[in-house]
């Protein structure tokens, strides 16, 4: 068994380094800026319409939101684990981590679809009121990011199989998983803001 001191990754950590490609971080910042505006607009719209927002918020499925948060943070943990495993040349474990992260993403989408179906069945839509306009547009915009994140995880899996990642190189893996963590980060703000805070 290796000690921490002998671990190649631990040695790499002695120097400060941005994981993945610079381009993905620029892209992530652009996405996060867009969501920041979205979050702020929601919060200020609520401030001007507290009664409506607080009443409508009670009709949301808070438990579905909680389960989805658990799925995303767990998916993030699996993705982070996949990178660690690849660095240690444990490629089977890296593949497993990516698959499990994908499964968490699929679970998230399934819960979200059920949640939407429930809302539509109850006759609620974007045009119901301002709160629901925000609820549908914010969560659906995020939903699309989960889909893109899963597509990226799928590409990473394919490249892992081709032997692109391992102790020699994890840069692509870091690049793709960074995006996946952003999707997680955005939901971590979205869930309390839209589902719980009142």
Partner 1 sequence: MNTLHERRTTIAWGLLVLGTLVTWGMGAAGLTGPWVAVTILAIAFVKGRLVILDFMELRQAPLVWRLVLEGWLIVVSALILLAYWMSLK
**Near partner 1 by CB under 8 A, which window of 38-46, 103-111, 119-127, 143-151?**
38-46
Q: Which is nearer to partner 1, 79 or 98 (CB)?
A: 79
- Asked if 63 is part of the footprint of partner 1 (rule: CB under 8 A), the reply reads yes
Given 34, 62, 89, 169, the residue binding partner 1 (CB under 8 A): 62
Site residues for partner 1, 16-35, by CB under 8 A, read 16-19, 25, 29, 32-33
What H or E segment, with its residue span, contains residue 72?
A: helix 62-87
Calpha distance 115→120 (Å, rounded) = 9
Given 34, 55, 66, 126, the residue binding partner 1 (CB under 8 A): 66
Number of H helices and number of E strands within the chain?
Answer: 7, 0
DSSP state of 125: -
User: For residue 187, what are the contacts with CB-CB under 8 A and spacing of at least 6?
Assistant: 68, 69, 72, 142
- Count CA within 13 A, CB hemisphere, residue 147: 9
- Tell me, by CB under 8 A, how many residues bind partner 1: 55
Asked if residue 75 lies in contact with residue 187, where contact means CB atoms within 8 angstroms, the answer is no
Q: Which two tokens mark 11?
A: 């040695």
Given 56, 69, 153, 157, the residue binding partner 1 (CB under 8 A): 69
Residues that bind partner 1 (CB under 8 A): 1-2, 4, 7, 9-10, 13, 16-19, 25, 29, 32-33, 36, 39-40, 43-44, 46-47, 50, 62-63, 65-66, 69-70, 73-74, 76-77, 79-81, 83-84, 88, 90, 174, 178, 181-182, 184-185, 188-189, 191-193, 195-198
């Amino acid at each position: 068994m290796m000690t921490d001191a002998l671990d190649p990754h631990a040695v790499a950590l002695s120097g400060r380094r941005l994981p993945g490609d610079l381009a993905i971080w620029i892209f992530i910042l652009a996405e996060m800026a867009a969501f920041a505006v979205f979050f702020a607009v929601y919060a200020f719209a609520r401030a001007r319409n507290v009664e409506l927002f607080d009443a409508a918020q009670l009709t949301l499925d808070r438990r579905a939101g909680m389960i989805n948060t658990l799925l995303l943070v767990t998916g993030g943990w699996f993705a982070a684990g996949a990178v660690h495993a690849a660095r240690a040349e444990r490629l089977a474990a890296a593949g497993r981590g990516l698959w499990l992260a994908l499964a968490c993403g699929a679970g998230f989408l399934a819960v979200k679809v059920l949640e939407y179906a429930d809302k539509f069945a109850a006759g609620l839509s974007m045009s119901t009121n301002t709160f629901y306009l925000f609820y549908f547009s914010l969560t659906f915009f995020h939903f699309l990011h989960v889909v893109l994140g899963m597509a990226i995880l799928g590409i990473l899996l394919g490249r892992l199989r081709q032997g692109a990642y391992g102790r020699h190189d994890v840069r692509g893996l870091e690049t793709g998983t960074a995006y996946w963590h952003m999707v997680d980060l955005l939901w971590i703000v979205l869930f309390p803001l839209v589902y719980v805070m009142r």
